[in-house]
Structure formats: structure tokens, C-alpha cells
Amino acid sequence: MATPFFTLKDSGTGLGLQISYTIIEEMKGYIDVSSRLGDGTIFSIYLPVKEKRRR
């Protein structure tokens, strides 16, 4: 889980990742994070797909 109110920016609340995490978790999804020093960070968001109902 993300730490609320943490940011490295001069302005901002530091709540972006926390809010995103909460929404994704409520939708039964998850976030995968991959980070390499000097290269950057990749956040992958996975959400379940709801199948269409047959009529």
C-alpha cells in the first residue's frame, strides 16, 4: 500500500497513488510496480474484465 501524503515534488498532496490504489483495489484489481535506478518506474494496472451476459 502507498504511503499517504508522501511526495518528492515541491507542490502536491502526495495522495495520487493512494487514491489510485484504493479505487483499483475496490474494483478487485491490482498494481504492479517495476523500478530500475536511473531508468525510471513503470506502474501497470490490472483490472478484471466483466464478460458480457448472453440473452
Overall domain count for the chain: 1
User: Is residue 31 assigned to a domain?
Assistant: yes
pLDDT at position 1, please?
57
| Greater model confidence, 3 or 25 | 25
pLDDT at position 12, please?
76
User: Is residue 42 assigned to a domain?
Assistant: yes
Range of the domain at 34: 16-46
Per-residue pLDDT tens digits for 5-49: 777 778 877 778 888 999 999 999 999 999 999 999 999 999 999
pLDDT at position 54, please?
77
2 pLDDT above the threshold of 60: no
User: Is residue 30 assigned to a domain?
Assistant: yes
Q: In three state form, how does the secondary structure of 1-53 look?
A: CCCCCCCCCCCCCCCHHHHHHHHHHHCCCEEEEEEECCCEEEEEEECCCCCCC
Confidence of residue 4 (pLDDT cuts 50, 70, 90): low
